[in-house]
Every structure is written in structure tokens, then in C-alpha cells.
Amino acid sequence: SHPKDMSDELIQTIAECEKVCEHIHLPAQSGDNEILKAMNRNYTVEHYKKLINKICKAINSTKTKTPANAEDFVYSNLMRKVDCQPIISNIAYIKKLSSKNQKDVEVGGIEPSEHWLAIQRPHQVTPTSNELYHKNLNTRNLWNLPASITTDVIVGFPGETKKQFNNTVKLFKEVKFDMAYISQYSLRPGAAAEKLKDNVTKQEKKRREQELTKILRKTALENNKKYLGQVVDVLVDDKNKREEWHGKTKTGKQLSIVNDQLSIKNLAGKFVKVKIIDVKDFGLKGEISL
């Protein structure tokens, strides 16, 4: 969701709807207020952090349930790709779709299943104590299985100084994103920034992208290590190049199933319980929990 659209009512609806995945994608674009203003983003870094805090607080007492009738799940493309972006912003519509008997409907070319829905990439946030969160943004990682928080960011926006970029570095270190889509600024015809001088060199843009990616890989790995030994629910997609079944957790984590003895079974479209045995920065490995 665009931060300006993440209202208190929407946050509460996300918290109460058990069919919304535990994965919040909240584009930051920059960690510097002057750059955000130049981008016409209409929010500040402080507002962005408060939104995360509100989401965590709202979902503090909620629990997301696994579909009871996994065998009856109607397979859809909702969770096939990390970058799928169904946009469901109408709160009443979200509540309507939470009905147990609601059939699949098409939203922006994506087919949400009757069990799992999505709001700008499948997500929902596991909360932390409000008091703890104000002390330190990183306390969300004290949770056993924290929900994933992902973002978008642009480096090398016209006029972005090293000091301003370092504010984005600071944001990355504070929030500890599970994934970030980091883009080097490039001119887009018709955009407001077209009038601005692209004065950050390609080499510097690349360096900034690499610096953020290094931080991201570290925090993503730290977050994923909390999954080791845990049993999680996975929606199986299909087989990867290694002929392993793979899918996603409700936190949007890519996961490969390495049980050789199950390679001949058709698991596509099914929910299975998987014990995590290995983790990488952007993926998990596990075995079917028998």
C-alpha cells in the first residue's frame, strides 16, 4: 500500500481479517524527508515509521488461521510471484471477501483464493509491544516468527546527497526489511522529476544500490534464521529447476521442499506443513512435517 492510503481503518481491517497474509509491503522510496518531498510522496519518514508501529499494535492480539479444508483449496496464481500486485483497497470489499463461502474473484488480473487474500502483495504484520516498539524498531524481530515487511526504494534521485542517502541506510538498519526492491533512478518521461537534473552519476547510483543490498541481505538472513526448526504452513506452487516442490509461507517467504520421497506426489495448490531445516537470505528450505 502507498503509505498515504494506509488509514487506521484499513490497518484495523487487515488486523481482523484472518485471510490476509502476514506480509506488509509498504514502499518507503527514500529515508530522507527532503527527497520524499521532491518525489511528491506526501509523507515523512517519521510518518512511515509510525505506520509500521500502528500496524504492529493493531495486530497485537490477532492470530491468522490456516485454512481448515486445505484439500478443498482452489488453486490460483495469487502467490505465484513475489512481485504480484493485486490492489484491494476497498475496506468493505475486503470484509465481504472474508466470508467462508466466498468464491474466487478476479481483482486486477489476479485471482485471490477464498482462503488467502492480498493487499498489495500478500501481507499482514505480526506485532510487538507498543512500548517496546517505541524503544526500538528492531524489537519486532524478538518475535518467534515475525511477519515480513518489504519495501521499494529509489537510489540516486536527482539532488540526492550522500548525507540524504545515509538517511535511507539508517532506515534500512532500523526497520530490518525482509525484502526491498531497490532501483537506481532513471528518467521517466512525463514524471515530475523530468524537470530535475539527474546529477548523481551511474557509478554512484550503483554503489548506493550495492550498499543497501548488502544491508538487506544481512537483515533478511537474520530474520529468516528465526524460522529454523519451526513448522510453517506453505501453499505449494510447482516444481523448481531442481525438481523440488516450492511455494510460499503466509509471510511471503519463498520455500523449497526437499523431501525426496515426496517428489512423485502432486502437491501443487495444496497447503502443507513444512519444518524449516535451512535458510538463506531470500529463501527457506524444509521438509514435509509428517
Mean pLDDT of 190-212: 93
Amino acid at position 188, single letter: R
Q: Quick one: pLDDT at residue 103?
A: 35
Residues 151 and 272 in one domain: no
200 plus 139 within the same structural domain: yes
Q: What is the pLDDT of residue 149?
A: 84
What is the reported pLDDT for 189? 85
Taking residues 5-10, report their average pLDDT: 89
- Residue 8 amino acid letter: D
| CA pseudo-torsion sign 170, 171, 175, 176 | negative
Identify which of 56-60, 73-77, 154-158 has the greatest average pLDDT.
Answer: 154-158
Q: Is the pLDDT of residue 100 over 60?
A: no
Strand blocks (E) in the chain: 23-25, 148-155, 179-184, 231-239, 245-249, 254-257, 271-280, 283-288
pLDDT in tens, 209-261: 999 999 999 999 999 999 999 999 999 999 888 888 999 998 899 999 998 66
Reduced to 3 states, what is the DSSP secondary structure of residue 21?
A: coil
Task: Report if residue 175 sits inside a domain.
Answer: yes
Q: Rounded to two decimals, what is the model's pTM?
A: 0.71
Full residue range of the structural domain in which residue 244 is found: 231-288
149 or 71, which is more confident?
149
Domain count within the chain: 2
Asked if residue 207 and residue 148 are part of one domain, the reply reads yes
